[in-house]
Amino acid sequence: MRVVHGIRYARAQRFGPPVPESLGPDRLGARAPQPGIEGSEDCLHLTVWAPLGATAAPVLVWIHGGAHVSGGVDDPVTDGSRLAATQGLVVVAMQYRLGALGHLLGDGTEEGQDAANAALHDQLAALRWVQAHIAEFGGDASAVTLMGQSAGGVDVLAHLSTSAGEGLFHRAIAHSCTAERAMSLPQAARIRDAFLAAAGVESIREAADLPVAAIVRAQTRVIDRFSAAAPIDALPFRPVIDGRLLHERPLEALAAGAGAGLPLLIGSARREALPWMSGGVAEGAALAALLERIAPSASIDELAAAYRVDRGRRPELRELREAVLSEVMYRSPVDRVVAARRAARGTAETFVYDFDPAGLTGVDAGHSGDLPMVFGTSTASTSAGLSSRMAAAWGSFARGGRPSSEPSWGDAADGVFRWGAHPRMISASDPALRAVLTAAGAACDRL
């Protein structure tokens, strides 16, 4: 396996677009600045894993998650070496700007173009680098799959929804994400003004002179401020509908036909909210407070009855709160992406999955739990069979636009593929709970 870390693909300009670079000798190692990690603004680099002797191999480009404010290419869970080796892929992971440095809206005082969607522009620069240079690593630039999870999945759907990414990738995979997490200009201006106040400056021009640590501290204050009034946590730094790169929410663009010619593999974990289920709370009060914020007209009894229809038993209050949060955070949003793709009547198929490893001891069932399965990095003794099958399905999708290693996995019109102890196609995943929450207008914007 040939592994090259820290390949520069562009240079970051604070609150400005990236400056692309050709393949050169520079090797970088820092993560993007983020809470708890100093990092460096000079962080626009790639890691490439390429099988020795690869020739015109399909390429998988990975965008990491982390709530748009954290993460990096050096996470051992998403090390690409095993996936590249077992599936014959060239795997590329990109580092990009985060938080305010990646998403802050300008105010007209900055030099050049403002920084709204700098993170997305970084990712586009990385994809252009792949087009120009991946053949030197044995990759096929005409067979690029763009894949991301959580915030990275949000960005994948954003790229799928715009014309800027056309021709830069040919298939897409999105884990545990939403096509609705994009701010309007008024929302973005509100976040910008809150950031400037938290930083103690009056303009973006002044913020351009701040130490990077001061920028990270200010963005953390903004996150804390908005989280105090949120159902779970706040994500104020995220893609912006700026009228240049994004013209509408990706969901609406997808429904209008954007990306309809590219195959999409998308899904979520059945227990997405597991990491957010803090202990030591009065579950009844916590569930009532959650419903008051996201679905005031939904009753606990009604939701519990729907849970029983879906899963064959009445839930504990903690289980019901987890199921509701899982549904509104990621599962219903994924379902709406699938519906948008079907409404667009495009030429490419959509393949949907859910991840439910119940009964597999040591396998994480929550948000991000499917990643070790796909990348082959799980240490659970019970995971080997599931991991090899999931990696093969993702690999076959990257090679040909269909998860053909699982012949029963059909288009979204046929249902959902459940990954777990007994992988199989099912007609739907928790439809009764989803119907009750949808009827109640449940929403969780997380701003």
Helices (H), 38-117: 81-87, 99-103
Do residues 325 and 278 touch, judged by C-beta distance below 8 A?
A: no
Do residues 65 and 368 touch, judged by C-beta distance below 8 A?
A: yes
Burial of 244 (0-12, 13-18, 19+ CB in 10 A): middle
Catalytic residue, chosen from 81, 150, 176, 326, is 150
* CA separation for the pair 73, 31 (Å, rounded): 8
CA angle 294–299–301, rounded 5-degree value: 140
Do residues 109 and 203 touch, judged by C-beta distance below 8 A?
A: yes
Do residues 329 and 348 touch, judged by C-beta distance below 8 A?
A: no
Beta bridge partners of 45: 8
User: Is 184 one of the catalytic residues?
Assistant: no
Q: Look at the alpha carbons of 195, 198, 200, 202 in this order and tell me if their dihedral is positive or negative.
A: positive
Do residues 148 and 155 touch, judged by C-beta distance below 8 A?
A: yes
E-strand spans in 222-338? 264-269
* CA separation for the pair 237, 219 (Å, rounded): 8
Beta bridge partners of 240: 183
* CA separation for the pair 208, 181 (Å, rounded): 26
Q: What are phi and psi of 289, to 5 degrees?
A: -65, -40
Which residue type does 436 have?
V
* Residues designated catalytic: 150
